[in-house]
Chain A
Amino acid sequence: MKQFLVVGHLRKIVTLYIVAAVFLLNLMACAGIPISYYDSTTYTQLTSLKAETTTLVESFDTKSYTDNQKKIEETTLNIKKAYEYEKGKGEPNSDTTKQFKKIYDLFMDDVKEYKEGQAEELGKKYFREAAVALGQAFDIAISTENLKNKDKR
């Protein structure tokens, strides 16, 4: 009789552990947290591109398009390369990829206005302020990368 009670008690404990384990595993599976880990290459690219693009856009108020054309082509290529690197990390990195795309569009919008000679229509200090906004966009992306967890595996 006593033996039956002990076996019954053990069975309850084992069942409880199994239920707890299944619950926790389900919780993690359901969470399915699609997020990439912190990447030092991404951080370096963002900080480097911030300096490169903001310096360039600032100069749009004073320099001619012809003077800047080569630099614009180089910088555009650098942003595209960085974007492709982020995109290549797949779905877990989709948030950072979206940020890169928005920053790329901000930069290209400035380049378009500059190329079309819109400086006078926008104001003599427009591009200086556009560069400030672009820098702030990079700052948000940089701090986003810093929020990610380090991969401890």
Chain B
Amino acid sequence: MSKFTDFVDSLVDEGKTLAKDELKKLISDAKSDQSDFVRLQAENLERWTIMLAEGDLTKKGYEKLVKKMEVLTQLEIIKLKVSAKASAQRLAEGIQKLVIDSLFALI
């Protein structure tokens, strides 16, 4: 058992508000995701949870760090958008150069 699962299992949750197994599965799946970004965020969350358990972070510090993950996700979304735009730009420039400038000059 990892420190992360130990900590999650040790939480007293009489109201059953935390789906412990789902949380553990979420992190476990994310850590083996194909995306580097998703894997990195899962590692962040796991490390910060362990630090919370060991007293290196307070509840407030933990919450603030988790909120930073939202910003990182927004940055990643912009990156994916730029990647798609750059591909479209390469296609448009290829059409201009190879089809309109070169091919049309020959026919």
Contacts and interface: CB of A to CB of B under 8 A. Distances in A.
Contacts of A95: 78, 81-82, 85
Chain A residues touching B, majority SS = helix
Contacts of B79: 99, 140-141, 143-144, 147
B16 interface: no
Interface string B28-68: 00000000010010001001100100011110111011001
Contacts, number: 109
Interface in A77-112: 95-96, 98-99, 102-103, 105-106
A51 interface: no
Contacts of B47: 129
B75 A25 contact: no
A24 to B, nearest CB: 6
Given A27-B95, A106-B68, A136-B40, A144 B57 contact: no
B86 to A, nearest CB: 5
Nearest to A134: B68
Interface in A111-153: 113, 121-126, 129-130, 132-133, 136-137, 140-141, 143-144, 147-149, 152
Contacts of B102: none
B23 interface: no
Given A122-B57, A122-B64, A129 B48 contact: yes
A124 B61 CA distance: 9
A21 interface: yes
29 contacts: A24-B95, A28-B95, A28-B96, A31-B88, A33-B85, A33-B88, A34-B85, A96-B82, A102-B74, A106-B68, A113-B64, A121-B58, A121-B60, A122-B60, A125-B56, A125-B57, A129-B51, A130-B64, A132-B44, A133-B72, A137-B71, A137-B72, A137-B75, A140-B37, A144-B79, A147-B82, A149-B86, A149-B89, A152-B93
Interface of B: 37, 40, 44, 47-48, 51, 55-58, 60-62, 64-65, 68-69, 71-72, 74-76, 78-79, 81-83, 85-86, 88-90, 92-93, 95-96, 99-100, 104, 107
